[in-house]
Structure 1
């Protein structure tokens, strides 16, 4: 059983859930502006949590509060049941990886990895063994003698992760860790991050604006907006069941069917103050004249005209005008598949159960 926080429930903190990290009604103001507002959050031990949001949402401020680089204006932060608001960053026993990597440019790879161990007073012989094991783990066995400037971006990223993890801290903080990498390297490092998290089991908090990265890496995602949590859920739950229009449109593409020019059918009735949402990949596209595409009673079908087709490698994106509505459908590209162009008449159909209603 993990540490149970001994915090007063009337202060808005949970006293019964085993937690590694807890924010209790935390606010951070810069003058009249509140970058984070009344943030309450529990992160269980060993979880990979991603804080996602646009610029100015408060996600980076939340991470800096946890890291100890800024102090809250109000509220408290607990790590393993102990308040840390008065504990300096260097005493919080955490590993940190920044977007810029922040490697020591005057030290070799090996010396960069030895530095946090030396600061902890580890003996030289033990440091050498641990650095050797970590270099092998991140596939940099032959590069220990190089300077950071002699490494590629992906190699520098591996060194930064290795340095953050080498002392086996209970907490790992990642600030846009893959933002400086190109797409292929970013995908490769996502796999490496997942593998390292499985191996070390370190409680990890990652801040990013990259939706795909958040969905790929996380056990749970927090979407922030204007300093507050908009929604928290697993990646699948957040994508498939967004609660608000903001989350639906920020996390992936979404057709917002507000005042639709056709009668919209769904399994569940809409609630007051909500609008219908449909993900583009849930929509099937057929030739309007195809007589063999019967629609069963679980699906809805509408007819429209293609305004644009965008080829994006693994999929095609169709922009289809249906009455006054412009609906986006995303279809996986496959050999032998019929391809529609601007002006073509098509039928769109989707499962009624794929319609979601989100708050405005």
Structure 2
């Protein structure tokens, strides 16, 4: 059964204006206008301006202390900006308390009510909106089936696995059909396999409901997998905003290149980089773009489009489907990553190898 909540309007309005909003609910467009948040003399967010489009899955990515969580808390209304304004659907929400912003929120800790069953956890936001008991029950039934927990409604949160608790948290955030969904490190408490499963589930839910979604994470793979666009933050400011593939393939700075995956920064590498670096930039090459072979192996058919260097293997790391080499070439130690395949030659520390890459795969980033 597929759940389409948008076909059902909730009788939850407290006045005529709220009722009109309920009947015309659409995914929200979000706008940060020169937002600064100070904690004493420290700026957690500095002059932040960005737009999140309606129906978009937008991820705020960055290391600890980058300002990503503060940005989400500002949007949620849990903290107030020192300067600037936030607009949701074209309206300023600076004076609107968090409980009036009509948003679903999922926290890393799930924040489920431990004394309520799964069913009662899902009913709670609908009850607070004044929905009648019969309609609440029908909607909860549909949502439980949608998140594959049809037989778990009578259980307490403590009786669920981490992945099941995360599904309940997502279901509770979605059940009232908010125009805006906020996710704070939503998969951070799960192990690798569960994270992978939940990434698939979250993509499916976003595609089905079409809710504008803002996700905060420090997990690069999660951001690349889920997002329509990503903003990378550093020290409270935006470093770069782009679609996942563009952000990974064409990072603007060394910070983005190194934070979003691994990168070989070819600054004074000890060998000539055939593509000339524009002023103020350095060459960057992703590890998977480099091919490794024995020094005497025949060259590829497109050798005229490639750059070749020789080096000595310093380390080989086996990681299941991938094999990673650290190869000293000139003044640099290059990271090389290749997919493991049957019959593939394996190199050991001390082996002399030849590395090559397409000159067109070199990118230029600012420091």
**Aligning the two structures, in what range does the TM-score lie when normalised by the shorter sequence?**
over 0.9
Whole-Å separation in 1 of the counterparts to 2:300 and 2:84: 59
Whole-Å separation in 2 of the counterparts to 1:39 and 1:294: 49
Matched, 1:348 2:355: yes
Cα RMSD for the two superposed structures: 1.1
The aligned counterpart of 1:15 is none
Match of 2:179 among 147, 170, 173: 170
Whole-Å separation in 2 of the counterparts to 1:111 and 1:207: 27
CA shift, 1:294, in A, is 5.7
CA shift, 1:291, in A, is 3.2
CA shift, 1:47, in A, is 0.2
The aligned counterpart of 1:8 is none
Unaligned runs of 5+ residues in structure 2 are 1-26
| Aligned pairs for 1:151-166 within 5 A | 151-166=160-175
Matched, 1:89 2:81: no
Whole-Å separation in 2 of the counterparts to 1:338 and 1:69: 56
Match of 1:75, SS state, is strand
Could you tell me whether the CA contact under 8 Å between 1:19 and 1:42 is conserved in 2? no
Whole-Å separation in 2 of the counterparts to 1:245 and 1:332: 25
The aligned counterpart of 1:324 is 331
Q: Once the two structures are superposed, what CA deviation does each residue of 1:277-332 show, in whole Å capped at 9, x if it has no partner?
A: 00000001111121354652111111111010000111000000112211110000
Whole-Å separation in 1 of the counterparts to 2:329 and 2:203: 42
| Aligned pairs for 1:305-316 within 5 A | 305-316=312-323
| Aligned pairs for 1:125-274 within 5 A | 125-266=134-275, 269-274=276-281
**Runs ≥4 residues deviating over 3 A:** 291-295
Match of 1:242, SS state, is coil
The aligned counterpart of 1:339 is 346
| Aligned pairs for 1:1-12 within 5 A | none
Q: Once the two structures are superposed, what CA deviation does each residue of 1:240-282 show, in whole Å capped at 9, x if it has no partner?
A: 000000000000000001012111112xx32111111000000
Whole-Å separation in 2 of the counterparts to 1:292 and 1:329: 18
Match of 1:121, SS state, is coil
Matched, 1:109 2:118: yes
Matched, 1:35 2:41: no
Match of 2:295 among 263, 288, 298: 288
CA shift, 1:151, in A, is 0.1
Q: Once the two structures are superposed, what CA deviation does each residue of 1:60-110 show, in whole Å capped at 9, x if it has no partner?
A: 000000000000000000000111011000000000000000000000000
Match of 2:137, SS state, is helix
The aligned counterpart of 1:9 is none
Report the more deviating stretch, 252-261 or 282-291.
Answer: 282-291
Structure 2 length as normaliser, TM-score? 0.92
CA shift, 1:19, in A, is 6.8
Unaligned runs of 5+ residues in structure 1 are 1-17
Matched, 1:23 2:32: yes
Could you tell me whether the CA contact under 8 Å between 1:308 and 1:318 is conserved in 2? yes
Could you tell me whether the CA contact under 8 Å between 2:34 and 2:83 is conserved in 1? yes
Could you tell me whether the CA contact under 8 Å between 1:295 and 1:301 is conserved in 2? no
Match of 1:191, SS state, is helix
Match of 2:81 among 68, 72, 75: 72
The aligned counterpart of 2:61 is 52
Whole-Å separation in 2 of the counterparts to 1:314 and 1:95: 38
* Alignment length (residue pairs): 341
The aligned counterpart of 1:302 is 309
Using a 3 Å threshold, how does the CA distance of structure 1 residues 294 and 286 change in structure 2: closer, same or farther? farther
Structure 1 length as normaliser, TM-score? 0.93
Whole-Å separation in 1 of the counterparts to 2:220 and 2:299: 38
